Amino acid sequence: MNNKVYDKANSILDLKGRGKKREQVLSNLEHLYEQEKTKGDTLAQQILGELLGPIKEDEVDYQRFFLRDHVIEELTRLSASQYLRYLKYRYAYEMYPIRRHTAEYPPLVQIEPASVCNYRCVFCYQTDERLSNRKHGHMGMMDLDRFKSIIDQIEGNVEGVTLASRGEPTVNKKLPEMLAYMSGKFLAAKINTNAYLLDEKMSHAILQADLQTLVFSADAAAEPLYSKLRVNGNLDRVVKNVKRFHDIKEKHYSDSKLITRVSGVRFHSDQNMDEMVQFWDRYVDQVAFVDYNPWENVYDSDRKGIDTPCSDLWRRLFVWWDGKVAPCDVDYLTTLVDETLLNSSISEIWNGNTYNTLRQKHLDGERQKQEPCSRCVVV
């Protein structure tokens, strides 16, 4: 496909009309740059300067902020007055891990409406009984009050919010109320689903929630590969649900700015990006593949010998259904930090001793002494 691009975030993303959209966004940014010149907002000037300014000689090895294709797509769906707020979020998300800067809040908070999942995908931690067997205490659903208190903490402080983590969000019956509560409060709000339970009511709830992105997790375009990877799944049912969502969006929400994406994990040699695009393209805006990380057995897998500090320690924070906090979902058994929102706020945890000690260990070249960091491929 002509419009298929390799994105630096290790994913392949298929985008439509990239050139024109980039031109339009750059023209808006130049306008914004002129407006901001005299305002004294140093972060805004830094961001716009890095995006638009010439590269100076002493900056040859300096990693500058740039706009990935999917970011351009997100910008095209915002109003000009929202640009700066969004760019500040995106800058923090991309550049704070590189500059090792810890802000007052994480750039992105990932909230888990449910740790329960109806699937057992072959590459997923749900296949690990230590997680998914209820007797170990990791399975459950977030209650609405806890969700609201998290949203209240991060509204105005965080732009990136993703509803998803170890489980499938749509198994939580309170999800429509959660979506309604967070609606309109963030500029980079996303939800991931396997679409198996995506009925008409849930489709309307998502479309009314003013989210920016909806990701359908699917790794194949045909059977038997789909069911081989997405164990307990049913491709016919998922396609029917994704198609119905598409039709509802077209018919009842034609002004919706929501970006829809099918995203698969690159895991099996039979997977074919062109076939994926051909099949899913009629129902969604984007089709993507992300690299496989050995989620399903990370604690027992080989050490990877990677010493680079992990970007997630400066980029995002996960909140499990029960209020426990984790730096990533690779550590799905929550061994790296022992913190909960029952005792501290998100900002206190993000800037607290446990997190700072973990960051320092990574910076001191001691990632290999941390489990499961030594067996993880995230950099």
CA distance 82 to 149: 25
In the bound complex, what is the minimum distance in angstroms from residue 293's beta carbon to ligand SF4?
Answer: 8
Under rule CB under 6 A, residue 109 binds ligand SF4: no
For ligand SF4, which is the closer residue by CB, 74 or 112?
A: 112
b/e burial code for range 91-118 (CB count within 10 A of at least 16 → b): bbbbbbbeeeeeeebbbbbbbbbbbbbe
Pick the piece of the chain touching ligand SF4 (CB under 6 A) from 119-127, 156-164, 185-193, 325-333.
Answer: 325-333
* Cα of 359 vs its chain's centroid, Å: 21
User: For ligand SF4, which residue of 154, 175, 284, 330 counts as binding (CB under 6 A)?
Assistant: 330
For ligand SF4, which is the closer residue by CB, 13 or 328?
A: 328
In the bound complex, what is the minimum distance in angstroms from residue 172's beta carbon to ligand SF4?
Answer: 24
User: For ligand SF4, which residue of 163, 328, 337, 349 counts as binding (CB under 6 A)?
Assistant: 328
Mark 273-312 with x for binding to ligand SF4 (rule: CB under 6 A) and - for no binding.
-------------------------------------x-x
Under rule CB under 6 A, residue 373 binds ligand SF4: yes
Q: How far is CA 51 from CA 27, 82, 91, 101, 201, in A?
A: 12, 17, 10, 19, 41
In the bound complex, what is the minimum distance in angstroms from residue 168's beta carbon to ligand SF4?
Answer: 21
In the bound complex, what is the minimum distance in angstroms from residue 295's beta carbon to ligand SF4?
Answer: 10
User: For ligand SF4, which residue of 94, 168, 331, 339 counts as binding (CB under 6 A)?
Assistant: 331
CA distance 317 to 355: 10
CA distance 68 to 54: 18
| Contact in structure between 178 and 205 (CB atoms under 8 Å) | no
Pick the piece of the chain touching ligand SF4 (CB under 6 A) from 82-90, 132-140, 190-198, 368-376.
Answer: 368-376
Beta-sheet pairing, 188-193 with 316-319: unpaired
Terminal C-alpha separation, the chain: 29
Under rule CB under 6 A, residue 131 binds ligand SF4: no
User: For ligand SF4, which residue of 106, 113, 294, 327 counts as binding (CB under 6 A)?
Assistant: 327
For ligand SF4, which is the closer residue by CB, 276 or 313?
A: 313
Q: How far is CA 114 from CA 142, 209, 212, in A?
A: 6, 19, 21
At CA 286, angle to CA 283 and CA 287, rounded to 5?
Answer: 90
Under rule CB under 6 A, residue 372 binds ligand SF4: yes
For ligand SF4, which is the closer residue by CB, 169 or 327?
A: 327
For ligand SF4, which is the closer residue by CB, 142 or 378?
A: 378
In the bound complex, what is the minimum distance in angstroms from residue 292's beta carbon to ligand SF4?
Answer: 14
In the bound complex, what is the minimum distance in angstroms from residue 378's beta carbon to ligand SF4?
Answer: 4
Which residue in this structure is represented by tokens 């690990």? 128
Count of positions on this chain that bind ligand SF4 (CB under 6 A): 11
In the bound complex, what is the minimum distance in angstroms from residue 167's beta carbon to ligand SF4?
Answer: 18
For residues 33-92, which are near ligand SF4 according to CB under 6 A?
none
| Contact in structure between 178 and 113 (CB atoms under 8 Å) | yes
Beta-sheet pairing, 259-266 with 4-7: unpaired
For ligand SF4, which is the closer residue by CB, 23 or 291?
A: 291
In the bound complex, what is the minimum distance in angstroms from residue 359's beta carbon to ligand SF4?
Answer: 10
Amino acid type, 206: I
In the bound complex, what is the minimum distance in angstroms from residue 274's beta carbon to ligand SF4?
Answer: 31
Task: Give residues in contact with ligand SF4 (CB under 6 A).
Answer: 310, 312-313, 327-328, 330-331, 372-373, 376, 378
